[in-house]
Amino acid sequence: MENRIRFIQHEGHNILLIDLSGCSAPEVKRIAGLIPKFVTTHPKHSLLILTDFTGAEFDRDAVTTMKEGLVFDRPHVKKSAWIGTENLPKVFYEHMKAFSQRELPTFKTREEALDWLVQE
């Protein structure tokens, strides 16, 4: 599971990729629970994060774990972008934004998201 949370490079920048693509709801929950140990080892406002939800499944437990992680990780994140959110119910997305008090921009392609993340 931990290979789904790793750094990738884009235009000379390190980006933390959280790859939830094709995951079942229990897998989303399990991976989401691992994210804080990666994020909190980095300085505040330093991380660029790309989360790929393509083909992932969601339930209330998975979303609750994700919401909690978004709040816990917030101080360490400079920018984050999401892709593949077509399967994420809008009500879950809106709850995560409201609960975490974070903007969670979504993009249609990985390239769009990566370019936005590295934009100053």
Residue 102 has pLDDT above 90, yes or no: no
Residue 2 has pLDDT above 70, yes or no: no
Instruction: Output the domain CATH number for residue 99.
Output: 3.30.750.24
Residue 34 has pLDDT above 90, yes or no: yes
- In angstroms, the CA 48 to CA 16 distance is 6
**For the packed helices 60-73 and 90-100, what is the interaxial angle rounded to 10 degrees?**
30
Q: How confident is the model over 47-96, as pLDDT tens digits? A: 999 999 999 999 999 999 999 999 989 999 999 999 999 989 999 999 89
* Tally of domains in the chain: 1
Q: Are 109 and 83 in contact (CB under 8 A)?
A: yes
* pLDDT at site 32: 95
> What is the pTM assigned to this prediction?
0.93
Q: How confident is the model over 16-27, as pLDDT tens digits? A: 999 999 999 999
Q: Which domain holds residue 89?
A: 2-118
| Residue recorded with tokens 């094709």 | 22
